[in-house]
Structures are given as C-alpha cells and as structure tokens.
Structure 1
C-alpha cells in the first residue's frame, strides 16, 4: 500500500514531528508498505494519508477530502492540537479530527481531552526509543539532572534552572539543558540564566549522539512541560532506565502512569526543588523512580510501536473493505 505521511517539519528538522514521521515511515516500510514524507500535499493519489498535526496539516486534509474523498485518513494529535488549538483554532482543528477515519494519541489519556464522539476512532501509539549502548558512570562531584528539548513556552524550559537557584550549600544539584532556543527571547533568557546561575549549564543544540551520551551519564531527567502530546524523550528515558521528574500534566501521566511517584505541580518551582533535593538525598526514592521507569519501558519498544501502527492502519482502511 502507498502511504503518504504529511508533517509540517521540513527535511533536516530536529523537531519531534519530523522524527516521528521518519520513524513511522520506517515501521510502515517494515510492514511492507511504500511510504513517503511530504510537507505539502498537492492532491497526488495515495492509498492512505497520515497527517501529523491536526491544525497544521488542515490544508492537506481539506485537499485530500476534496480530491480523493474515499482515501482513508489518519490524523496524529500533537500536544498543541489537544491542549491549545482545539481552543484557539477550533474550526480547523475540529475539521481535521472529524474527517479522520482514525486518530492517533501519543499517550493514554488523550481521550479525556477530546470530544467523546471521537473516542471510537482513537488509538494510542506510544513512541518508541532505542536502548542506550550502556550506562556511563555519573560525575561524582555533581548530581546532574538533564533537561532535553527546544527552549519554548510549552516546555516551561527554565523551570529546572529556577529550581536550583537557591539551594543548601551542600547540595550537588546541577542542571544541564540541551536544545536550541525557539526565538531570540528564549535565547536571551537562557544566556542570562547560564551566566548568573552556577548550577545551570545551557549547551544549546547538540548532535543526537551527544544527547544520548548525556542521558547515559546524568542521574535523572526533568520534563517540565505545561503541555505535551506524549514526549518521545520520556520514552527514551524509560528505555534507558533514567529516572524522571515530571510536571503533573496529562501528557506525562499518560506515559508514566497514574502511580508514578515523581510528579510535581506544573509551573511550581518550589515543588520541583523539593523533589530534586529528595532525589539527590534519598537513594531509595531515586531507585523507586528508576524502577517505575524501567517497568514502563516495554511500552516503548520499536516492536510495540510498529504493532500499534499496524492496528491503526488496519482500522482506518477497514472502513473501505
């Protein structure tokens, strides 16, 4: 079958949407399909379209329905689709969601935040991650925590940096931030924080192999987002056995589980600081975070993701015999 994946992220982009499109294309080729990834759809015939992003891909969805109305359509919902654009751009976002024969959510609580009429078409596809070659010994003189992702509003990117500004003298907590600034404002904020906060180090955008090396060496990861569709970096941490401290938003709870002990109140610097200090000082607490993450790891294997994609494709195409 010919499958067209539409993503707003151009070739070479390091955005999550592009990485997801390329990974899904590999999985679908492994199932015997012919795949291509495009950023703009121009009415070319295809046997199935997968649109990554309901709002940003609405033009492609409209074009498909106007020119090839019988072609099955799958729409993958991002965090901004679910938690922003349903409210700010309801007509376009709602159109893509309503026209889809199947919807993909990247965490298992998406159904709580979309219209009930769409629940029968919703499938969860957890994003997969490859295991690290090996864990590296941590820096003994510091308790390093990583924050991984582009610096932008949705990520509340400097929350961990703020949490380590005022710590007891004997704390070894240190935050390493990886990712480029979304705009000049975030660039300035990160540079100022790096210059004024001795416990914060912004590395900017680094190659993928360096990200994985940091993940192999740091003691934990912080994901401080205010909205997430299901961050792949959480999958990567679980597969790596890397403890996570996460904001208590649906996108994190839908990946780590209701009973995960490492949540803090979103945007609450004091609450995050308390958990970071507990992780540094309480070995049993840190071990419990790691054990919970490792228990979730089987959800995030490439084989699991491929099987989930196969179920969605079969469901979307089943309506057409």
Structure 2
C-alpha cells in the first residue's frame, strides 16, 4: 500500500513525534508498504492515512476525510492530546478522534482518559527500542552514581526536577544528574544554565544524537522520568531494553508502560520524595537490583517485532472498520 504519515515535527527534528514517524516508516517499508512522511497535507491520494497528534493534525485530518471519505485513517494520540488539548481545544481534538477509524494509544491506560465513545476503536501499541548492552562496571568508571534525564527541556517534562532533588541529598552522596535535552525556549535555556552554575551535582549535556544518548544510558546506573504528562515515552522503552532502572513520576503515561506493580514511582513534581528514592537507589543495592529486574522483565514489550505486529493490526482494524461503515 501507499501510506501517507503526517507529523508536526520536520525532518531532522529529534522530537518524539518525528522519531516515531521515521521508525514506523521503516517498519512498514520492511513489509512492502511505501510510506511518505509529510508535515503538510493538501489532498494527495493514498491507500491509508496515519496522523500523529489529534490537535496539531486536525486540519490535515479534515482535509483528508473530505477528499477521501472511503479511505482508512489511523490517528496516534499524543500525551498533549490526551491530557491537555482535548480539554483546552475539545472541538478540533475530538473531531480528529471521531474522524479516525482507529486510535492508537501508546500506553495501556489511555482508555481511561478519552471519551468512552471512542474506546472501541482504541489499540494499544508499545513503542520499540533497540537493545542497548549495559556497561559491565558503571560505578568504577567515574566513582559517581550517574542518573540520566533524557528529553527536551520543557514544562511537560518537568525537566529539572531530578536536579532539584539532587540538591536535597546528603553530602556523602555521589549522585550526579546528567541531563540530555534541547531547551524548549529561552526561559528553559536560562533555567538550565542557572542550574549548572548553582548545582554541583548537575551537568547539562545539551541535545544528543541517538548513538550518544545510548552511550549515556549504558553509562548510567539509573534514569529519572519526571514528566507531568506523557502519551507513552519512547525513552522508557529504551531504558527497559537497556536494563536501566527508572524512577518515574506517578502519572498515567508512566504507569501505563511500567505497570501498577513497579516499585520506582514518586508523586509528580515532588522533589523531596524523589530525593528519598534517589538516595535509596544509591545506597540500597537490593532496591536497585529489584528495579533493574522489573525493567528487564518489561523489555519484551518494547521489541521492534512487537511494535510492527501492532502496527499491522492497526492497519487491519482500520480497513475493517472503514468497510463496516461503508457497508
């Protein structure tokens, strides 16, 4: 088939939406489809249309549905769609959901936070990641307990919460926060620079390419996922595949990937609670080992084979639902 996939993120961007679009194009092309990844849509024909982001892709979705009312449409719900835009911009966001034949949610709890009328066309897809072999002796290399925070610096990511927590640790702690990400704007640039100047436990690495990010994850003993909203972060998939334990804010987007039994949650935006867990992870080898075992048990969810199977299932569902509607 010829598939058009629209994403708001331009070519070359390291935004999550662009990474998802490019990875899906590769997976779909492996099974014989032709995929055109675009950022603008003006009515070109295709056999199936995939849109990333309900609100940002609203105009494209409406154009597509008007031009090609019988062609299947798959919509991927992002974290901002689910936890912000369907409340701030309910009409366009829900219009996109209504126009889609299949909705893809990127974690297992999405159904609880979208209108009940759309639950029947929701499919859960776990984003995949390459396996990253962990370093054999992480602590010996630097003499520090290295904790990575990976993602663009912005409000939704609560990007400096781990740095704030590190300030609360006792003097004997060797925790070092290594933050990799591009600032969303000048304000976040200034905040990161201020944290570097004031916090000796904090290093800001800027935006890293994929191989360097993988090297960082292999180096670190722990990752902090501090977001206040997430649609299902691919960096969690990457950490699980790397066997890298995670301390995660207790939000649906994290719980929907790591599960209710995961032992590394802290209340979102609570640096005091996060500091307690950071100290426990550094000082209690049994606790760190338990988190490592838990993420390793989850790793099979996040294989490329599993993601490709879910993608193919989404396409089948879209054609079936469109056929039923037309029939």
Instruction: Work out whether 1:52 is the aligned partner of 2:52.
Output: yes
SS at match of 2:168: coil
Q: Deviations over 1:193-216 (max 9, x none)?
A: 011100000011122211110100
CA deviations over 1:175-222 (Å, ceiling 9, x no partner): 000011000000000000011100000011122211110100100000
1:111 is matched with 111
Does residue 70 of the first structure (1) align with residue 58 of the second (2)?
Answer: no
* Cα distance in structure 2, aligned partners of 1:166 and 1:19: 35
> Which whole-Å CA distance do the structure 1 matches of 2:31 and 2:199 have between them?
49
Which residue of structure 1 aligns with residue 11 of structure 2? 11
C-alpha distance in 1, partners of 2:136/2:212?
13
Do the aligned residues in 2 keep the contact of 1:280 with 1:286 (CA within 8 Å)? yes
Structure 2 segments unaligned to the other structure (5+ residues) = none
Q: Does 1:121 align with 2:121?
A: yes
Show CA shifts across 1:140-198 (max 9, x none): 31111000000000000000000011321111111000011000000000000011100
Asked if structure 1 preserves the Cα contact closer than 8 Å seen for 2:101 and 2:322, the reply is: no
Q: For 2:166, which of 160, 164, 167 is the aligned residue?
A: 164
Aligned-residue offset at 1:101: 0.2
Residue aligning to 2:220: 218
TM-score, normalising length: structure 1: 0.98
- Contact 2:138–2:220 (8 Å) recurs in 1: yes
Distance apart, 1:320 and its partner CA:
4.0
Structure 1 match to 2:98: 98
Please list the CA deviations of residues 109-132 of structure 1 after superposition, one character each: whole Å capped at 9, or x if unmatched.
000000111111000010000011
* Residues 1:242 and 2:244 aligned together: yes
Provide the secondary structure at the position in 1 that maps to 2:163: helix
TM-score (norm 2): 0.97
User: Which whole-Å deviations, capped at 9, do the CAs of 1:261-294 have from their partners, x for residues lacking one?
Assistant: 0000000111000000000010000001000000
Gaps of 5+ in 1: none
Query: 2: CA distance between counterparts of 1:167 and 1:317?
Result: 55
The answer to whether the Cα contact below 8 Å between 2:134 and 2:243 also exists between their aligned partners in 1 is no
**Residue 41 of structure 1 aligns with which residue?**
41
Equivalent residue for 2:201, pick from 195, 199, 202: 199
Q: Report if aligned partners of 1:136, 1:217 keep a CA contact under 8 Å in 2.
A: no
SS at match of 2:138: coil
**Kept in 2: contact 1:98–1:118 (CA 8 A):** yes
Superposition misfits of 4+ residues, deviation over 3 angstroms: none
When the two chains are superposed, the root-mean-square deviation of aligned CA atoms in Å is 0.9
Count of residues in correspondence between the two structures: 321
Q: Deviations over 1:235-273 (max 9, x none)?
A: 000000000000000000000001000000000111000
Tell me how far apart the structure 2 counterparts of residues 294 and 139 of structure 1 sit (CA, whole Å).
Answer: 20
Give the match for residue 89 of structure 2.
Answer: 89
User: Which deviates more from structure 2 when the two are superposed, residues 222-231 or residues 168-177?
Assistant: 168-177
> Per-residue deviation at 1:31?
2.0
Q: Secondary structure at the match of 1:37?
A: strand
CA–CA distance in structure 2, aligned partners of residues 128 and 24 of structure 1: 10
* Residue from 180, 185, 188 that aligns with 2:187: 185
Partners of 1:9 and 1:320 in 2: CA distance: 28
CA distance in 1: counterparts of 2:157 and 2:136, whole angstroms:
27
SS of 2:45's partner is: coil
Counterparts of 1:229 and 1:167, CA distance in 2: 31
